[in-house]
Structure 1
């Protein structure tokens, strides 16, 4: 079941084109990663989904409703956490959480208290005294205690320490198990890699890649460490071998996955004593893809 859909959404601010025909589809019960550098268009996309901005062209729908025209109705079933949370300074943290929950609609006081404890949050202090990390906790507690069907999270762990990041990640897993849907915009690639079912990479307002992590990994390279009885002459010239280095008889290089069989057959001729391969991380994929795109544009 489709929960959220962007269909060729374009957004212009005067002569500047922030989004260029962005399309995306989120299904019920999945966590969808949305990654890209600052200025790539992540937050603009999210503001269109929240009905804060109107798309110049294209269509954005959530629960089958128009994100711009039906924003108030959609928000009753959504929880949103921005990357920088602003709160009412004269209210206590607990009062802010309650206001946010009442604005959202139905919620559970038991879940609210549970998440206050899990995030080790003191709700009795005035909001103006909280650090950035504690302000993030306010929004996260309100989100996890709500009965939302869709969670839209824009750099939600900004300012959290590693222990609280782990609590957040566990919360997302529980949300997924409950059949809820999550759009997670993040620059913490390890977080996306651990949590997301599918990923979209946005660059200069365009989606340049999308799919599961396995779908995307074919675009990048395995990190190889090999030791052979005889020196593998000509390895550097072999198709699919990149950045070959040799130290004390051990060869380290990157290998294109679609050439792995050919590379392994070649190395076997020289008597493989040891071979280790490390699958690429999302960060490897991300950096290589950007470097290649930049090289193409500058050529």
Structure 2
């Protein structure tokens, strides 16, 4: 099945009794990319990860990571994994946890680990049971990347992190990707994925709805325009009747429009009013993702 992809799933399906948690997933993640895996809670994201890593057996279909089964200890040693709910014995210190994973993975670079501890402001000697939720999350991030993995699998990685530490996490992901690592980023937080990933898969109720680049998704988003005119339009109704116009409002000499599709007809209609300036707003990807989350695949 291998084609050199870092992650590959072919017809991957998992059923729990009468519940289909994942339904025929077809997926290929290129080496060296940051890939976003999006969906609301309960969509099947964590189930996918557990199947990829061999924690669960599929009901049907197959998957590979780094050209082999995720259950293979030699392959697992090349993977960094941060689960959504990291369970660590409370008596462990951060040093204990990093050392434990280091022994499983064949060691790590102490200088790199020291840099990570400084970045995330962690005391390696404190017991994990004494740490806040956010600090335990930071420990998980450091433990996942301490061995500079070829593949980093992250499940809701910034849950519990404050904005400053989220920024540090984003810098770390970009650094690892620039060094050639593949990052599989599972999240329901759109802005986080939008900042880091080039391609995303959108999952809904266990089914893959689409795989697309962020740029392609932006092109699907409704366009929001402010047309600054030399004179005020008599009424916005004439613009609401134009093809693709979802919303049209007037504020003084500014015509505010939401357009689904081409804006050519709108610009032509506004030309007679004297368009002095056109201001476009960043595409709202929330709207596109909600469309995929809420609608059945046709």
- State the TM-score, normalized to the length of structure 1: 0.91
Structure 2 residue 34 is the aligned partner of structure 1 residue 31: yes
The CA distance in 1 between the partners of 2:43 and 2:142, in whole Å, is 28
Q: CA deviation at 1:289?
A: 3.6
Question: What is the Cα-based RMSD across aligned positions, in Å?
Answer: 1.9
User: Is the counterpart of residue 78 in structure 1 residue 79 in structure 2?
Assistant: yes
Alpha-carbon distance, 1:243 to partner: 2.6
Matched, 1:21 2:37: no
Once the two structures are TM-superposed, the CA of residue 97 in structure 1 deviates from its matched residue by 2.0
Shift of 1:16: 0.9
Q: Does the Cα contact within 8 Å between 2:204 and 2:292 map onto a contact in 1?
A: no
- Secondary structure of residue in 2 paired with 1:137: helix
**What aligned pairs does 1:166-245 form with structure 2 within 5 A after superposition?**
166-228=167-229, 229-231=231-233, 234-245=238-249
Matched residues, number:
292
Partner of 1:250 in structure 2? 254
Give the secondary structure class of the aligned counterpart of 2:37: strand
The answer to whether the 8 A contact 1:144-1:171 is kept is no
Report the Cα offset of residue 230 of structure 1. 4.4
Partner in structure 2 of residue 267 of structure 1: 270
Q: Which runs of 4+ in 1 moved over 6 A?
A: none
Output the TM-score relative to the length of structure 2: 0.92
Partner of 1:40: 43
Structure 1: distance between partners of 2:79 and 2:213: 24
Structure 1 pair 100–241 and aligned structure 2 pair: CA distance change class (3 A): same
Output the CA distance in 2 between the equivalents of 1:245 and 1:203: 34
Residue 9 of structure 1: how far off its partner (Å) = 1.1
1:62 matched residue in structure 2: 65
Q: Following TM superposition, by how much is the alpha carbon of 1:154 offset from its aligned partner in structure 2, in angstroms?
A: 0.2
Question: Do 2:5 and 2:66's aligned partners in 1 also have CA atoms closer than 8 Å?
Answer: yes
Q: Report if aligned partners of 2:40, 2:293 keep a CA contact under 8 Å in 1.
A: no
Give yes or no for contact 2:174–2:196 (8 Å, CA) kept in 1.
yes
2:55 is paired with a residue whose SS is: coil
Structure 1 unaligned regions, length at least 5: none
Give yes or no for contact 2:13–2:24 (8 Å, CA) kept in 1: yes
Q: Is the 8 A contact 2:226 2:257 kept in 1?
A: yes
User: SS in structure 2 opposite 1:29?
Assistant: coil
Aligned-pair distance for 1:266? 2.4
Q: Distance in 1 between matches of 2:203 and 2:134?
A: 27
| Residue of structure 2 equivalent to 1:5 | 8
Query: In structure 2, what is the Cα distance between the partners aligned to 1:222 and 1:191?
Result: 22
Residue 213 (structure 1) shift? 0.8
Q: Which runs of 5+ in 2 are unaligned?
A: none
